[in-house]
Structure 1
Protein backbone atom coordinates (compact mmCIF):
# COMPACT_ATOMS: atom_id res chain seq x y z
CA UNK A 1 0.00 0.00 0.00
CA UNK A 2 1.37 3.41 -0.93
CA UNK A 3 1.87 6.34 1.42
CA UNK A 4 -0.95 8.19 -0.34
CA UNK A 5 -3.32 5.25 0.14
CA UNK A 6 -2.47 5.03 3.85
CA UNK A 7 -3.00 8.78 4.23
CA UNK A 8 -6.39 8.61 2.49
CA UNK A 9 -7.50 5.70 4.68
CA UNK A 10 -6.36 7.44 7.87
CA UNK A 11 -8.04 10.70 6.81
CA UNK A 12 -11.26 8.76 6.13
CA UNK A 13 -11.15 7.21 9.61
CA UNK A 14 -10.58 10.60 11.24
CA UNK A 15 -13.31 12.17 9.12
CA UNK A 16 -15.87 9.45 9.86
CA UNK A 17 -15.15 9.27 13.58
CA UNK A 18 -14.74 12.99 14.29
CA UNK A 19 -17.03 14.60 11.74
CA UNK A 20 -14.33 16.66 10.04
CA UNK A 21 -13.92 16.96 6.29
CA UNK A 22 -11.03 15.01 4.78
CA UNK A 23 -9.91 18.16 2.93
CA UNK A 24 -9.17 19.70 6.34
CA UNK A 25 -6.79 16.88 7.32
CA UNK A 26 -3.13 17.34 6.39
CA UNK A 27 0.14 15.77 7.51
CA UNK A 28 0.54 18.68 9.95
CA UNK A 29 -2.91 18.26 11.52
CA UNK A 30 -2.60 17.75 15.27
CA UNK A 31 -5.05 15.32 16.85
CA UNK A 32 -5.84 17.07 20.11
CA UNK A 33 -5.15 20.66 19.16
CA UNK A 34 -6.68 20.80 15.66
CA UNK A 35 -9.19 17.93 15.62
CA UNK A 36 -10.20 18.46 19.25
CA UNK A 37 -9.96 14.76 20.06
CA UNK A 38 -9.81 13.76 23.73
CA UNK A 39 -11.29 11.21 26.11
CA UNK A 40 -13.33 8.32 24.74
CA UNK A 41 -12.98 9.61 21.17
CA UNK A 42 -9.29 8.71 21.26
CA UNK A 43 -10.13 5.09 22.06
CA UNK A 44 -12.71 4.91 19.27
CA UNK A 45 -10.35 6.41 16.68
CA UNK A 46 -7.39 4.28 17.73
CA UNK A 47 -9.55 1.13 17.66
CA UNK A 48 -10.59 1.94 14.07
CA UNK A 49 -6.94 2.53 13.14
CA UNK A 50 -6.04 -0.83 14.70
CA UNK A 51 -8.84 -2.60 12.80
CA UNK A 52 -7.68 -1.07 9.52
CA UNK A 53 -3.90 -1.30 9.95
CA UNK A 54 -3.19 -3.77 12.79
CA UNK A 55 -1.18 -1.43 15.04
CA UNK A 56 0.43 -2.62 18.28
CA UNK A 57 -0.16 0.22 20.78
CA UNK A 58 1.97 -1.31 23.55
CA UNK A 59 3.88 1.49 25.25
CA UNK A 60 1.34 4.17 24.32
CA UNK A 61 0.45 6.22 27.42
CA UNK A 62 -2.84 8.01 26.86
CA UNK A 63 -2.20 10.65 29.54
CA UNK A 64 0.93 11.95 27.80
CA UNK A 65 -1.18 13.16 24.88
CA UNK A 66 -4.85 13.44 25.86
CA UNK A 67 -7.27 14.31 28.65
CA UNK A 68 -9.99 12.01 29.89
CA UNK A 69 -13.70 12.60 29.52
CA UNK A 70 -14.91 15.30 31.91
CA UNK A 71 -16.42 13.94 35.11
CA UNK A 72 -16.65 14.77 38.79
CA UNK A 73 -12.99 13.99 39.52
CA UNK A 74 -11.43 14.97 36.18
CA UNK A 75 -9.75 18.12 37.53
CA UNK A 76 -8.15 16.09 40.31
CA UNK A 77 -7.02 13.40 37.86
CA UNK A 78 -5.75 16.04 35.42
CA UNK A 79 -3.58 17.56 38.14
CA UNK A 80 -2.19 14.13 39.07
CA UNK A 81 -1.45 13.14 35.45
CA UNK A 82 0.20 16.48 34.60
CA UNK A 83 2.50 16.10 37.62
CA UNK A 84 3.33 12.55 36.56
CA UNK A 85 3.57 12.96 32.78
CA UNK A 86 4.22 16.69 32.34
CA UNK A 87 2.69 18.94 29.72
CA UNK A 88 0.58 17.25 27.05
CA UNK A 89 2.57 16.21 23.98
CA UNK A 90 1.38 16.47 20.39
CA UNK A 91 0.57 13.71 17.90
CA UNK A 92 0.28 14.72 14.26
CA UNK A 93 -1.28 12.86 11.36
CA UNK A 94 2.26 12.55 9.98
CA UNK A 95 3.38 10.72 13.11
CA UNK A 96 0.34 8.43 13.01
CA UNK A 97 1.25 7.53 9.44
CA UNK A 98 4.78 6.66 10.60
CA UNK A 99 3.28 4.45 13.32
CA UNK A 100 1.01 2.80 10.74
CA UNK A 101 4.00 2.17 8.48
CA UNK A 102 6.03 0.56 11.29
CA UNK A 103 3.05 -1.31 12.76
CA UNK A 104 3.92 -0.36 16.35
CA UNK A 105 3.54 2.71 18.52
CA UNK A 106 6.64 4.81 19.15
CA UNK A 107 7.02 8.22 20.74
CA UNK A 108 7.11 11.17 18.35
CA UNK A 109 10.40 13.01 18.19
CA UNK A 110 10.54 16.78 18.36
CA UNK A 111 11.13 16.84 14.58
CA UNK A 112 7.78 15.06 14.04
CA UNK A 113 5.92 18.08 15.38
CA UNK A 114 5.05 20.68 12.76
CA UNK A 115 3.40 23.80 14.10
Structure 2
Protein backbone atom coordinates (compact mmCIF):
# COMPACT_ATOMS: atom_id res chain seq x y z
CA UNK A 1 0.00 0.00 0.00
CA UNK A 2 1.38 3.40 -0.93
CA UNK A 3 1.80 6.21 1.57
CA UNK A 4 -1.05 8.65 1.98
CA UNK A 5 -0.07 12.16 0.90
CA UNK A 6 -0.90 15.15 3.11
CA UNK A 7 -0.57 18.69 1.75
CA UNK A 8 0.38 21.08 4.57
CA UNK A 9 -0.44 24.70 3.69
CA UNK A 10 0.87 27.53 5.86
CA UNK A 11 2.70 30.80 5.20
CA UNK A 12 5.01 30.06 8.15
CA UNK A 13 7.82 27.66 7.14
CA UNK A 14 8.34 26.66 10.80
CA UNK A 15 4.75 25.42 11.05
CA UNK A 16 5.15 23.39 7.86
CA UNK A 17 8.40 21.96 9.21
CA UNK A 18 6.94 20.99 12.60
CA UNK A 19 3.56 19.68 11.38
CA UNK A 20 5.09 18.06 8.29
CA UNK A 21 7.82 16.40 10.34
CA UNK A 22 5.31 14.93 12.77
CA UNK A 23 3.09 13.68 9.92
CA UNK A 24 6.15 12.03 8.30
CA UNK A 25 6.95 10.31 11.61
CA UNK A 26 3.36 9.02 11.61
CA UNK A 27 3.95 7.45 8.19
CA UNK A 28 2.53 10.03 5.79
CA UNK A 29 4.17 11.55 2.72
CA UNK A 30 4.09 15.33 3.03
CA UNK A 31 3.89 18.05 0.40
CA UNK A 32 4.10 21.75 1.29
CA UNK A 33 2.52 24.95 -0.01
CA UNK A 34 3.16 28.41 1.40
CA UNK A 35 0.03 30.25 0.28
CA UNK A 36 -3.48 29.59 -0.98
CA UNK A 37 -2.73 29.95 -4.67
CA UNK A 38 0.20 27.54 -4.47
CA UNK A 39 -2.02 25.10 -2.56
CA UNK A 40 -4.68 25.14 -5.28
CA UNK A 41 -2.04 24.63 -7.99
CA UNK A 42 -0.57 21.65 -6.14
CA UNK A 43 -3.96 20.06 -5.44
CA UNK A 44 -4.93 20.32 -9.10
CA UNK A 45 -1.55 19.00 -10.30
CA UNK A 46 -1.36 16.04 -7.90
CA UNK A 47 -4.36 15.33 -5.71
CA UNK A 48 -3.38 14.79 -2.04
CA UNK A 49 -5.24 12.41 0.25
CA UNK A 50 -5.75 15.11 2.90
CA UNK A 51 -5.02 18.82 3.37
CA UNK A 52 -3.94 20.63 6.55
CA UNK A 53 -4.84 24.23 5.76
CA UNK A 54 -3.92 27.39 7.65
CA UNK A 55 -6.63 30.05 7.76
CA UNK A 56 -4.68 33.32 7.72
CA UNK A 57 -2.41 33.52 4.67
CA UNK A 58 -1.53 36.17 2.09
CA UNK A 59 -3.05 36.19 -1.40
CA UNK A 60 -5.80 33.60 -0.83
CA UNK A 61 -6.71 32.65 2.73
CA UNK A 62 -7.67 29.20 3.96
CA UNK A 63 -11.40 29.93 3.90
CA UNK A 64 -11.20 30.88 0.21
CA UNK A 65 -9.12 27.78 -0.61
CA UNK A 66 -11.51 25.52 1.30
CA UNK A 67 -14.56 27.03 -0.40
CA UNK A 68 -12.97 26.70 -3.85
CA UNK A 69 -12.04 23.05 -3.27
CA UNK A 70 -15.45 22.14 -1.87
CA UNK A 71 -17.17 23.68 -4.93
CA UNK A 72 -15.12 21.53 -7.33
CA UNK A 73 -16.84 18.13 -7.78
CA UNK A 74 -13.48 16.49 -8.57
CA UNK A 75 -11.84 17.76 -5.37
CA UNK A 76 -14.69 18.27 -2.90
CA UNK A 77 -14.16 14.91 -1.20
CA UNK A 78 -10.58 15.65 -0.10
CA UNK A 79 -10.63 15.89 3.73
CA UNK A 80 -9.53 19.32 4.98
CA UNK A 81 -8.25 20.11 8.47
CA UNK A 82 -8.38 23.87 9.06
CA UNK A 83 -5.63 25.20 11.30
CA UNK A 84 -5.60 28.65 12.86
CA UNK A 85 -4.01 30.79 15.52
CA UNK A 86 -7.27 32.70 15.97
CA UNK A 87 -8.73 32.31 19.43
CA UNK A 88 -12.28 30.98 19.56
CA UNK A 89 -13.50 34.11 21.32
CA UNK A 90 -12.55 36.37 18.40
CA UNK A 91 -15.75 37.30 16.60
CA UNK A 92 -14.93 40.75 15.26
CA UNK A 93 -12.89 39.52 12.29
CA UNK A 94 -13.63 37.22 9.40
CA UNK A 95 -11.16 34.78 10.96
CA UNK A 96 -13.33 33.69 13.83
CA UNK A 97 -13.61 30.15 15.20
CA UNK A 98 -17.30 30.20 14.25
CA UNK A 99 -16.42 30.87 10.60
CA UNK A 100 -14.05 27.91 10.61
CA UNK A 101 -16.68 25.60 12.01
CA UNK A 102 -19.26 26.85 9.53
CA UNK A 103 -16.92 26.09 6.62
CA UNK A 104 -17.17 22.72 4.94
CA UNK A 105 -13.84 21.69 6.43
CA UNK A 106 -13.76 18.25 8.03
CA UNK A 107 -12.00 19.41 11.18
CA UNK A 108 -10.94 22.70 12.75
CA UNK A 109 -7.96 22.84 15.10
CA UNK A 110 -6.61 25.95 16.86
CA UNK A 111 -2.82 26.29 16.57
CA UNK A 112 -1.00 25.84 19.81
CA UNK A 113 1.95 24.12 21.47
CA UNK A 114 -0.02 20.89 21.84
CA UNK A 115 -1.91 20.96 18.54
CA UNK A 116 0.54 18.86 16.49
CA UNK A 117 -0.64 15.56 17.97
CA UNK A 118 -4.25 16.63 17.49
CA UNK A 119 -3.53 17.40 13.82
CA UNK A 120 -1.90 14.00 13.28
CA UNK A 121 -4.80 12.22 14.99
CA UNK A 122 -7.34 14.16 12.92
CA UNK A 123 -5.55 13.24 9.68
CA UNK A 124 -5.39 9.57 10.75
CA UNK A 125 -9.10 9.56 11.62
CA UNK A 126 -10.11 11.25 8.36
CA UNK A 127 -8.08 8.81 6.27
CA UNK A 128 -9.08 5.67 8.18
Tell me the TM-score normalised to structure 2 length.
0.28
Structure ranking higher in helix proportion: 1
Report which of the two structures shows the higher radius of gyration computed on alpha carbons. Answer: 1
Larger RCO (alpha carbons 8 Å, 6+ apart):
1
Structure-1-length-normalised TM-score? 0.30
